[in-house]
Structure 1
């Protein structure tokens, strides 16, 4: 039997001719297998961010604290001391004519001798003497009201030498050498006796004022 007469079934042919028996020099084109990598969906680009201009932080100005003006303390009211007892009053004269003379001396109990001599001359010109008047040094009665002094001596005429009416506590003021009626009395005020004695013009003004004051 020749080779051509051999009956080859399908299974045998597959086994025998699974590979090419004759090399023709041609090669089957290589099968290009494309790698199918998963394609990511396009990522949407974020919208452009506007440039932020950095501005300095605004710090609110501190609220100024209200300036409170100091409240002035009320002035202490004048509180008159209790009137001196009868034994404590310091004065000169016998008050026969109810004439009160008030002086203000820091270094004398009542009045310096040289000023007392000049006052005596003035009283004599007015037809008065020390027995007709009461002389009080304001130094001892700064805390005593004028009302207490007037009541003590029952004064009808008052002459202030070296202090004005307000200093003595009166609620009114008036010019020097001007006669003034107040609280049932006639008032007159003038410079201190030393100044009057040293100035002829002032001495004349006082004399002109004393004449109607005493009814001369």
Structure 2
């Protein structure tokens, strides 16, 4: 037997050719479903909580922006003062004696305050030969002031006479040449001789020194 079911609209009109009317019937009631469950509110997920928390953060008010002040006009061709270096403080020295007669005696000994016993004895004879006492001169050991030049010594002591034992002309930065004769440099008369300990046994240098000392008496 063939299938009687059809969905063809033209075929259906052959069987249902009467008009159909829809009428509202208020007496009909639709019963409620007994096992219907209440709809629960949807719990926010973790991602939703993060979004809400982020949106609930209070946004600080914007800081007040100070208006930009216009730059002050400066005059052109302003003269910039030059920087002047402060003068260095004069060097000071420790010395023996009083320097009352402005006589500077330089010795050069790394081992002793003045010299060996032989050198000290020779120095006592030298100062006695020119009628000098301890209050009259200033005695400085150059070994304690390596690199000091004559100008620095002159600034401090103002010597009229300088006896240099074992200190070379080049060390004092003097453009002079020693020829066994008294040198006059500015207001200072200068006599150079070997180190006191060496001078004690150097007969020729000792004779030259005695000759120069006689000229300053």
- Report the TM-score range of the alignment, normalised by the length of the smaller protein: 0.5 to 0.7
Residue 108 of structure 1 deviates from its aligned partner by 2.0
Q: What's the CA shift for 1:144?
A: 2.8
Give the match for residue 82 of structure 2.
Answer: none
Equivalents in 1 of 2:190, 2:125: separation in Å? 20
- 2:140 pairs with one of 136, 147, 151: 136
Correspondence for 2:169: 165
Quote the residue 1:47 is aligned against.
none
Residues 114-172 of structure 1 deviation map (CA, whole Å, 9 limit, x = unaligned): 32222011111111122211111111222333212112111111111112211222122
Mapping of residues 17-166 of structure 1, within 5 Å: 83-85=90-92, 89-166=93-170
Unaligned runs of 5+ in 2: 1-87
TM-score, normalisation: structure 2: 0.54
* Structure 1 spans left out of the alignment, 5+ residues: 1-80
- Distance in 1, matches of 2:120 and 2:145, equals 20
Name the counterpart of 2:186: 183
Moved more, 165-174 or 122-131: 165-174
Counterpart residue number, 1:208:
211
The 3 A distance-change label for structure 1 pair 146 and 82 is farther
TM-score (norm 1): 0.55
Rg bigger for which structure?
Answer: 1
Change (3 A) 1:127 1:144: same
Tell me, what secondary structure is at the counterpart of 1:165?
coil
Give 1:96 deviation, angstroms: 1.4
Residues 110 and 143 of structure 2 are in contact (CA less than 8 Å); yes or no, is this contact kept in structure 1? yes
Q: CA deviation digits over 1:60-98, x for unaligned, max 9?
A: xxxxxxxxxxxxxxxxxxxxx96434xxx2211111111
**Contact persistence 1:82–1:144 (CA under 8 A):** no
Aligned in 2, Cα 1:199/1:144: closer, same or farther, shift over 3 Å? closer
